[in-house]
Structure 1
């Protein structure tokens, strides 16, 4: 998609592995600021202003890591139109798409467009929804031109995942449908529980929440998020990643992941956060 010296628009705050990979390849990770006031959804007009001759792709991550923000279908469609008009790729990372709200329909209509192969590359991971993170199983949906380059790169790394995992997934896609639906409902219940308990935590505020993650503003103005996270981990037994790990200007936030915390554990947060003094 891009060579050293070129650029990719990356929503900021960003998933740090995306940014680190681009840096290692000599490709500029050009921040596309996503603001709390806008629900951390990227702004189409802002993206258009950032595109110049060096930009080769736009990345969207929805549901987002780290913010949990879920991009509306109309926003995704707008970015597809922008990418097509500017002759660049739209890369849509949907690792957490299985954890949309109960009853949610399609996340977007990108593949209803007969010309999607000229622009769209979709990334998906089986690790989360199927609980198989160590097997490194995923999927890429792309047109023939993009896929030819992708397969060449994969052949120099993994070649292909181990066959037993692939064989199990062929059954699990249909065989675990009910289990996945139940897991989605469980995760959505934890989102509701997290929202409720944070109302009892003075000074703390959820800026965005969805899928596995809540992006939470902490109440300690001027205190680096890393220091707040350290105090929570060592003093209160609460693990959260500092916002500074996800890009510049994020020191006011922490990312909490609650996928493996049941509602009883989530209910202990007000007591754990009370009186914290990092």
Structure 2
């Protein structure tokens, strides 16, 4: 018997687990599989509605009593680097950028392990082995690149970003870097360089993942001008971060059925073939 994929994506909800961003909260995710011929089109559409990709899954926070996690993106045309960001561009401007196909290497994994041990030793990815790392990099059904940053004189790999390409921007899925180079601000530089990548490709947005009011881990995202957040079903310019504290209220989230009913899906027209 021949089995075919459902015509419309099926959405599911994860079991609650401790929130990694806000102490004492429980998180829950709404997710769907990313597969088939329409994967790129589905990813483009749902990413504009606050979803993020993890390998072959698209997910969006859907907590029962909190809506603090807000998808964030930089409007490239509205971005002006701050004085400190201009210094970062100057300090790290000598690095060589290499954009490659999504293929994991031993050098990437070694840098990834050092990064986790220094920054996220107790995080959810701390036990990720080389096979799981390769899956994170390589299991993608859409247009994805690995953007590497290399010291030109020595060839040393100092930073990496797994980057998806949308029809309206680039999405920084996950980045890691050499934490010994504290004075270089490599994390900030990767974002600033992705703004340049978007400009070079004539794409209007750089998607950063989630910004969470009240979370120190995510506070750095609010430091980029031109920032927009997805709130109340629309993208809006970032206001004072304190204005979003209400999103942590137990009544700030809609029921799951209502959330799913309000998701806009792409039409069924076939994708055009794009030569890369």
Place the TM-score, normalised by the shorter chain, in its bin.
under 0.3
Considering fraction of residues, name the structure with more strand: 2
Q: Which has the higher helix share?
A: 1
TM-score normalised over the length of structure 2:
0.26
Task: Compare relative contact order (CA 8 Å, sep 6+) and give the higher one, 1 or 2.
Answer: 2
